[in-house]
């Protein structure tokens, strides 16, 4: 922290340093200061800056969802041919799912783009976000199908198991849901906390 502070004294408005210090401040629980650093980075960065993708994820991690969407919008506007475009599109979709906004269309677009890159990891991410988007609109059967596809690609994905477990619980399939939740927590004990922090519970 002292290094970040000194760096910004020497060169105020240095965007990468502001973002890095914001991450550290969030981990220290200093939410207001961290948000101020991200806002300063937003003001200092050019509209087309590649660093806006980092800012989007930082805002999302801090549950500042409107600000996260703004950063995703700006990054996507100027990086349509970037190989990270599908992941960024799905990042925005995930944030909108958290806000109960429509995002299934974005998931389909991103899936097609990811298939063009022929990267199974990206397809896995697309499927997972598609599940979240469908669940946000009560389409649990579609959501479960997306999670099924995701887990076939990577059976060690705790997000997939936990997301499917929540959908099963909401469909009154208690035994199946509890089994999936337990499997997710065995892979990553904090996964339930992350879902709860984002307001996603059975």
Q: Could you tell me if residue 88 is inside a domain?
A: no
pLDDT for res 70:
95
Angle in degrees, 0-180, between the axes of helices 31-44 and 15-27, rounded to the nearest 10: 160
**Measured between alpha carbons, how far is 96 from 181 in angstroms, rounded to an integer?**
24
pLDDT for res 126:
52
pLDDT for res 195:
80
pLDDT for res 54:
94
pLDDT for res 121:
45
149 CB burial (10 A radius; 0-12, 13-18, 19+): middle
The CATH number of the domain holding residue 14 is 1.25.40
pLDDT for res 129:
54
Q: Could you tell me if residue 94 is inside a domain?
A: no
Instruction: Assess contact for 43 and 49: CB atoms under 8 A.
Output: no
The CATH number of the domain holding residue 122 is 1.25.40.10
Residues 24 and 113 in one domain: no
Total-model pTM = 0.58
Residues 120 and 43 in one domain: no
The 10 Å Cβ neighbour count of residue 71 is: 29
**Measured between alpha carbons, how far is 124 from 105 in angstroms, rounded to an integer?**
17
Residues 73 and 35 in one domain: yes
Q: What is the pLDDT along the chain (202 residues), one digit of tens a residue?
A: 999 999 999 999 999 999 999 999 988 889 899 999 999 999 999 999 999 999 999 998 888 989 999 999 999 999 988 888 877 876 786 777 677 544 544 445 555 544 444 444 444 455 555 555 555 555 677 778 767 876 887 788 888 898 889 889 988 999 999 999 999 999 999 888 888 876 777 7
Domain of 61 in residue numbering reads as 1-79
């Amino acid at each position: 922290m002292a290094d970040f502070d000194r760096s910004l004294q020497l060169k105020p408005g240095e965007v990468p340093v502001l973002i890095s210090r914001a991450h550290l401040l969030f981990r220290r629980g200093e939410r207001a200061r961290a948000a101020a650093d991200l806002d300063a980075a937003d003001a200092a960065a050019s509209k087309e800056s590649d660093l806006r993708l980092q800012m989007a994820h930082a805002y999302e991690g801090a549950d500042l969802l409107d600000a996260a969407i703004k950063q995703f919008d700006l990054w996507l506007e100027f990086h349509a041919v970037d190989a990270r475009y599908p992941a960024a599109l799905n990042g925005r979709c995930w944030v909108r799912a958290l806000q109960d906004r429509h995002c299934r269309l974005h998931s389909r677009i991103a899936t097609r783009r990811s298939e063009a890159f022929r990267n199974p990891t990206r397809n896995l991410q697309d499927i997972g976000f598609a599940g979240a988007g469908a669940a946000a609109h009560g389409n649990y059967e579609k959501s479960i199908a997306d999670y099924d596809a995701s887990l076939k690609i990577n059976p060690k994905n705790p997000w997939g198991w936990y997301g499917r477990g929540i959908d099963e619980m909401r469909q009154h399939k208690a035994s199946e849901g509890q089994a999936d939740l337990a499997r997710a927590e065995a892979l990553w004990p904090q996964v339930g906390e992350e879902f709860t922090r984002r307001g996603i519970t059975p």
